[in-house]
Structure 1
Amino acid sequence: MMAILSWFGKRGTECLAAGVFLGLAIPDMAAAARPLLVPAIAAMLTLSLLRLDPAGVVGALRRPQLVVPAVGFVLLASPLLGFTAASMLDLAPGIVVALVVWSASPPLISVPAIATLVGLDGALALTVTTAAGLLVPVTLPPLVFALLGLELDIGPTALMIRLALLLAGTGAAAAAIRRLAGPARLQRHAPAIDGGFVLVMLLFAVAVLDGVTAAALTEPVRVAGLLALVFGASLGMQALGWLVFNLAGARAATTLALACGNRNMALVLGSAPAAFDPDSFLFLALLQFPIYLLPVLLRPIYRRASGQGWSPPANRG
């Protein structure tokens, strides 16, 4: 079993890229997997935490000069950029809402593990993801209302509590496993842990793609256009993130670019589904393609950046 998991872990990005098409090829599997979405999210976060060095997380927390601007860019500057882009394009109202909400959402819970898979700074990714996730109930509803006039009742306190409980629960589970297994054994079986994460991500992709095959068959041109939009949004936000943070060093900038281009829009749609139309949910489903395909397509860039450590920008005063 460990050998099989290790095989998936060593070929993680390729497996993710191939596996995203499972939900399209076998629609019945997608429908059957849908109830497993929440357990899959918890499992992904637990496995992500297992692969992170606690000292690395502490080190990331000691870099507020990097973490605070990164969270500010993700939650405050990014939605303004998303709204500007949506205003320049001839999009259906539901897609405009989806693009703005996506750009105002925190990074995906899976971003720290994806960062680790491609050789980036998983601890920095986890720190930014956690901080942005806890703050988004306060920042997103007023921003979306100001930009679109859309009132989102996502219950900031309740959502923050749910996120805190998820982080605390998965953190406790990861700490217990780390204590029982020991650092040496976890390091030895790192490829198998990565393989477990890849399999859970594949399960999540299959579940969230429920209904996409039918949409692609009935409206292929429209779905192709939306695919181009979600790839453009992810690549554009990654490029902007890298440009904004490139003075922090190649590895940190590329890690933050990955976080900027992969957002947890499902968190918001799941909290206030009545505020969104079917177009918004189709946008969410199609987002899985850049999430699963871009790590393998951009891996040479990520790998090249991972060879450079973080160093503070020079004092120019």
Structure 2
Amino acid sequence: MTTHLAAMIAVGLLMGAGLWLCFVRLPVMRKTSFAQRVEPQLRSVDSRSRLLEGEGPGTLFGPLERIFRLVLSDAVHRLGRFNVSVRGLGVRLEQAGRSETPLEFRAMQFLCAAAGLLAGVVGAILLLWQGTINFMGAVVLTLAPMVGGYLFYDYLLGARTKRRQAQMLSEFPALAELMALAVSAGESASGALDRVARTSNGVLSQEFGKVLAQTRTGVPLVEALNQFSARVNVPALSRFVDGIGVAVNRGTPLAEVLRAQAQDVRDVAKRELMESAGRKEIGMMVPLIFGVLPLTVVFAVFPGLALLQFGF
């Protein structure tokens, strides 16, 4: 197979796929839903197409943007049929603090994969046209950006989750001390939590605000805290929730428990810092042994070898 023939086949496949997508998305090819069949009998039908109505200054491309929104919404709902891990993804999105639904996340993930596929196809066609790559290399170059875009968007979610959990851990000792101070002054557990959420800013205080919002709707404080613990999935905060639950149910002193938990988190942070320093110290041995030490030996041995070569 020559390079020109492979390029022609690739272009033909792309054109055929585009024509097929245009054909299957025609209105006559869509299945009419029950709501669409009964809609004309429920209200008067406007003779003017709603796609031609403007949406104000927020619409940049006019009717074309509205058509794209309909196609994207339809694709998102169809994607929900094949998504087997919506529940686990929803938990990850809550841990990352993102307000989008799992289907919206998957839609954006597939859009990133499609962008990678498009870039890979363009690059493969150009390289095939120049004759610098074979057919298998073009296939790999086409699929690799697609898989990379899909995995990279998922990696961004995991990185944001870890960064948010680390931020909550860094905020927890100070907020625990504030709660202990409020409890020592006579506040209840819910009152101390309310005071801390109102007087502080940060990720953890926002989560405390969500807990208080649940309690105002009638959810018990311990149950709302348990949901908070399952949502954030941080061991230190799980121990904090258990301590508050025991203090509320059994009447144990809460201030000392909060101070002890804050000190435990500080000790864990110090230990992790020492472990990180130890790992970095070991990592610094690699350039020292393979970079600096050979140069030192060369500078030490080379004068002697030069003297032996000259016969002095």
TM-score (normalizing by structure 1): 0.21
